[in-house]
Structure formats: C-alpha cells, structure tokens
Amino acid sequence: MANLFNRERRRFEAFIRQHRPGLLGLARRLCARSSLEPEDLVQETFERAMPEFEHLKDRTDSAAAAWLCTTMTNRFLDYCRRQRTETRGLPHLALVQDAALSPDDSQENWELVNTDEFQKAIERLKPHLRDAYRLHAEGKRYTAIAEHFNVPVGTVGSWLTLARRDLKELLLPQVAVAREQGATSS
C-alpha cells in the first residue's frame, strides 16, 4: 500500500516537473506587475490537479496540459474578479467552476492537438509570420522582434495576431469550418 502511495506521489512530482515551466511562463505574463505572484498561481493550479490526478495521469500530455491551462485561467479570472469586487467593496460573486466539472469548448478543442501537429502547422505559416511567432515564443518582446525585421512595433502586433489566427485555423479545423458556416449564413 505504501509503495503504491509512493509511486503515485513520484508520478505526480514528475507531472509537476513536466508542466511547471510552461505554466509559469504563462503565469508571469498574466500577473506582470500585479499583486498576484505567478508562482502562487501555478501552485494553486497544481493544488487543484492533485485530487484530479487519478484521471489526469492516464490522459495524453496534450489533454493534461489543456486541463492545467483551463484550470490556471480559471484561477486567474477568479483573482481578477476578487480584485474587482475588493476594490469596489462588493460581495464576492460566484467564482469560476473547476475545469474538471465543466470543461469548456476551448479546452476540449485543444486537448486533441499535440506538439507534432503544432510543429507542422507553424511550418505552413507565411515565413515572416512564422519567424515572428518563433521569436515571440522564445520570449522576445515586440521591440526586439521589430528591430529584427526592421518594422514598426505595431506591425509586430498585427503579425502575431495573424500568426495566431492562422495557427488556430490549421490546428482546429472545426473552428474554421464553423466560421465559414457563420460567414455563408450571414
């Protein structure tokens, strides 16, 4: 029994090690210069993951990452709501439900996409969009990317928006289909 417990624990630790850097990277961007510590946000996310680990451990990496991402986003939105009610002195509103209870559409879509598919999709972007997005994914700021391409900073912003739109359409074809249907029906 003790061995079983230990094995689970080790698996959970490995799970944390695997996903922590990516989540922390996102958390830092969400929390930048707010009173919320990115490390706390990630910590809370793993706290939520612990009781769900029995289900999470057997799922694909992509599904686990999508679950963690949704959970962290929920925690973050909770924080924003609390901030807002605190600054306005309002009572706390109902907080966001946990992902396990109510997986949203976004999560369900992204659970199905793996990193290989992403690699293929990014190769299909227009070269300047692809290179700009790669630099962005390395952590470069808009100014650094703008300098690299010798274009205005505003251009970098729209390139990244376009790159993301194209990536999403390549990765989530059903989204694109739905969009086209919307366009033809209107």
Contact 163, 132 (CB under 8 A): yes
> CB neighbours of 39 closer than 8 A, spacing ≥ 6?
24, 27
- Burial class, 132, CB count within 10 angstroms (exposed 0-12 / middle 13-18 / buried 19+): buried
Answer for which of 41, 125, 146, 167 binds another protein (CB under 8 A) is 167
181 near another protein (CB under 8 A): no
Count of Cβ atoms closer than 10 Å to residue 185 Cβ: 6
Nearer to another protein, 139 or 173 (CB): 139
Site for another protein in 8-47 (CB under 8 A): 9-11, 13-14, 16-26, 28-34, 38-40, 43, 46-47
Candidates 104, 148, 179, 181; binder of another protein (CB under 8 A) is 104
Taking the C-alpha atoms of residue 16 and residue 23, their distance in angstroms, rounded to an integer, is 10
Q: Tell me: does residue 161 bind another protein (CB under 8 A).
A: yes
Among 100, 103, 168, 169, binds another protein (CB under 8 A): 168
Nearer to another protein, 8 or 180 (CB): 8
Q: Counting contacts by CB under 8 A, is residue 110 touching another protein? A: yes
Side chain identity, residue 2:
A
* Nearer to another protein among residue 6 and residue 181 (C-beta): 6
Calculate the dihedral angle through the C-alpha atoms of 171, 121, 183, 128, rounding to the nearest 10 degrees: 140
CB of 186 to another protein, least distance (A): 17
Structural contact between residues 28 and 73, judged by C-beta atoms closer than 8 angstroms: no
Count of beta carbons in the 10 Å neighbourhood of residue 4:
8
Choice from 41, 63, 122, 132 touching another protein (CB under 8 A): 122
Shortest Å distance, C-beta 36 to another protein: 9
Name every residue whose Cβ is closer than 8 Å to that of residue 137 and which is 6 or more positions away in sequence: none
Please choose, out of 102-110, 124-132, 178-186, the segment that lies near another protein by the rule CB under 8 A: 102-110
Q: Interaction with another protein in 48-87: which residues (CB under 8 A)?
A: 50, 61-62, 65-66, 68-70, 72-73, 77, 80-81, 83-84
